[in-house]
Structure 1
């Protein structure tokens, strides 16, 4: 089914572009009996490369696309409900367990049921993901449950939802005129992927809101767990990387020495990782260096730990990007102002 769809898409590329009215009419009343996306565990939504290539993003946001959001959501909900209906017919015992766990199960049962549905077909389980994000937000005061959900969501976002090389797009960032097919099913599939990206971006942002609150928990160990999660997400996926970096840099000023030192250690690891990457964003690297420079004045960290990485900093000074070089020099100057630093530095 998947390979047949890929072959047909390649043949349809020369079709005339679709107009707004046609797509609006097509999405208004979704009605079909077979899934547009077959449930294949090994294929994530962002791996439908041929389908995703049928439309491109726009540099400027298109406000007209906003009116498509409820229609795309309606279509996605229809696809998701159809998937659950077929799942109930084909796997009645599994579906019965899922319903029982959700309605009358323990906290861990409900958690396991939603994770199980996501793992079966992440593309059709966006509302299960939304439940977990909301569950985290509602359990911020219950530390044990909070940390468990935080870790589960971290793995789910990395393994099932966030592309490794690309960032998510909102519906307004898509270019309707770039759609290269008039095949009704493919147009519906594109609309579903548009909504999925849009909703996923919002859910991930909400997850980061919760992470930020956890990183300011009164208990040091809880804060450190959140800091480690933030750094891990930053390393693994590019989505909302600027915000993640700001959250990480902010913790350099943690009032507790252990948490601040842990943050510095994670920043050092991040610098080493970025220094060996050829395709790293210069803005990304410069922001990291600038944040470390600003935080150095009030972060309670051992200056000797920073001095261990002087060679890395001098190497960064000679990078091709001028802004990155300036940021590295600013950090070196800030280090030279610290007490007990050898004047030769």
Structure 2
């Protein structure tokens, strides 16, 4: 694989290089968590300085992801991962390639510094990139040196260290695999599979860890296609089973499993759980009109068809693999 790099990359942190050992490991006393205060604000101002010097006012969200494991009971997760305040439709507004103003991008950096559950790359192709890693490590890449931003970062009390590349830079595949576009040919295959009774469920992954599920009939395929989130990864599955009791009898003794079920009101729900959540999952699915269980392990999760939605010009620009 070959990584995609910008020519000028800086590691921006609150960690003084003087407090690193001969292996580059930090040995000082700074906390690895965000202070939710002045230091966090300094990170955001540093990113803003690099963006300004690069001439960037908007950023593209790339490869967004959220945690997928469901948690029943206990303290509830933040609704919509806090994205309702940033996007008109909350989480469903977040997808690969979505463009956001710099201010919104900075708020997403804040979420990532706080490890709030949402993660993505923020980029302008071949021009600028912001990647947030573990333990308050932030990487900024630009097509220019950004010497003024480096000086500004130091004035903010942070350290901007030049590095060869961001460890979170995307790597282009060189294994010969080709992404299958969800084009007219793909949808013709979907129509045939649904009409023949081989398929009846479409999984739409618009953010890694977040999916929407659509039950298909020959009459609804085109309407579902028209309402999909841009650049979504699609997987076609056999239809849900109306024998919910038999489906629940297939729960494994342990491990991870994804339950997908249709509520009496027609809405389709899903949850990924481990054995600690099987009992609650069974309770939730017991009132369903139809359901299925799917493995979450890659070698066992084999849909009938997969594809990635192309952009309006027919080009697949999403970098994830179906």
Instruction: Give the TM-score, by structure 1 length.
Output: 0.25
Bigger radius of gyration, 1 or 2?
1
Instruction: Give the TM-score, by structure 2 length.
Output: 0.27
The answer to which structure, 1 or 2, has the higher relative contact order (CA under 8 A, 6+ apart) is: 2
Which structure carries more helix by proportion?
1
